[in-house]
Structure 1
């Protein structure tokens, strides 16, 4: 079952596709052409068969050296069967688009990161037909950003730092700096980053730390997004947050659907809808 935390780990690259290039250059020392243009493309790999296969995020790189595709998969645990899905994704996209395909796996812990980095083979043990070697981002190579100036210079990278270090000892310092850095950008984007951070921290102590920050500190962006959300049971704030997420993602929603959201009094339902709103393609999917 896909969780909101899982979605946040890869969706951050959809919100700021160029973050991919910066992580490659800064964290992995893999340079990309200066004129590299990055965009998000359709992640649906469904064929005519009834089996649906959907990649987390796919980015398209257009450079003078040719096109490349980048698959970004969020992984919250070691799942041996996942390697066959990754091999399918890479092979399918390579066959469809006739260009190099890069697999990037984002992990939340060191154990999963070490598993993801191990080569995955298909074929004979000593003569594999296919060897899959993902590029892995995780707590061991994503920087711990605890400097306000550094976080303010690249807010999306600071959010990514918070998500990947949600279980690290330094997470309290990371979140404190992130909350301050968000106050340096426009309130709309900052509020969305605040919500994405909360969702992405999942069921961790760090999420409660983040909520405490949002409810006890005063930031400009809270008046737009986060402030009304933080108090548990605040139905009106949850409904407003959901509508803002849908509007920001460009999801067209009818007045009837808006009224259904506004009149909902179940906080758990509103939270569930808010998590779904990060991934759906139409308003109809929200109530399916």
Structure 2
């Protein structure tokens, strides 16, 4: 079962495929072809073989509608020797599909895992596949709010990599604005992946008088300091959160499912559904 951290980092690239390009060019220093579009491709890399193969994400760079470069992105949180046998098949399958160069990008929250992932994969007879691996030591500590707002995906990744740096958390907090695309989803994502101390610090920022005055967004999505007597309102707010996340992901909610969500008065159950909604592809993924 993928962890919340794994799913959250994968979701960043699903939401913004050009983020994979940014990681390659700005952090790894890898040049990519001139292109007009970066779009998500099918992660199914199965071929005419009995074994299903699925990458975390696939991003295709196109120039005038023609694929010019493929990026396979894998979020790797632990050392897994089996991946050194599976990853080459991903590269070959995507290269065969797109008929253009392909690169494997690995993102990790551990430098030890990142170093392991960066090892060339020997295919024999002098052939090798060399993954581009990114870990915390090369992920920038983004403390400038303007920089964070210009690239909320990298700001969130920076917070995951450097959760003890309050400057990074302050910068990430500045990106939580309902007027910014994907901000609501990212705000929900970050609550599922940060360690308790970092999460509590962000929630403290969101419960300040200044933030309350600036936007109802914080009260609705982040305020964890509700008194016991406000439990009903808290449940209603979480139900609205779930529906908002599903709407943002383009998932249609049937009337019976909507009623089940809005009529639920169990905050713990609603919290579980909210976490599932962040990475769901259908309502059944949330309520089952």
- Compute the TM-score of the two structures, normalised by the length of structure 1: 0.84
Quick one: distance in 2 between partners of 1:165 and 1:24?
A: 20
Larger % of helix: which? Answer: 2
Quick one: distance in 2 between partners of 1:14 and 1:187?
A: 17
Quick one: distance in 1 between partners of 2:117 and 2:14?
A: 22
2:202 to 174, 196, 210: 210
Deviations 1:20-50 (A, max 9, x none): 2222222122233454410012223356777
Higher RCO structure, 1 or 2 (CA under 8 Å, sep 6+): 1
Shift in Å at residue 248 of structure 1? 0.3
Match of 1:112 in 2: 113
Unaligned runs of 5+ in 2: 226-230
SS at match of 1:209: helix
Matches within 5 A, 1:39-188: 39-46=39-46, 51-63=51-63, 66-123=67-124, 127=125, 131-166=128-163, 169-170=164-165, 172-183=166-177, 186=179
Match of 1:248 in 2: 248
Quick one: distance in 2 between partners of 1:258 and 1:88?
A: 42
Quick one: distance in 2 between partners of 1:85 and 1:222?
A: 47
CA contact (8 A) 2:142 2:148 kept: yes
CA gap of 1:131–1:283, structure 2 versus 1, over 3 A, is same
CA contact (8 A) 1:187 1:224 kept: no
**Residues paired across the two proteins, number:** 279
CA gap of 1:226–1:210, structure 2 versus 1, over 3 A, is same
Shift in Å at residue 255 of structure 1? 1.0
CA contact (8 A) 2:60 2:67 kept: no
Shift in Å at residue 81 of structure 1? 1.7
Quick one: distance in 2 between partners of 1:221 and 1:163?
A: 26
Matches within 5 A, 1:187-226: 189-201=182-194, 203-216=195-208, 218=211, 223-224=216-217
Deviations 1:108-149 (A, max 9, x none): 1211111111123345xxx46x52321112211111101122
Unaligned runs of 5+ in 1: none
CA contact (8 A) 2:37 2:62 kept: yes
Quick one: distance in 1 between partners of 2:223 and 2:73?
A: 30
Shift in Å at residue 262 of structure 1? 1.3
Quick one: distance in 2 between partners of 1:92 and 1:226?
A: 47
Deviations 1:189-243 (A, max 9, x none): 4322211222232x45323322333333616886246634442763222222111
CA contact (8 A) 1:38 1:62 kept: yes
Shift in Å at residue 5 of structure 1? 1.4
Match of 2:22 in 1: 22
SS at match of 1:140: helix
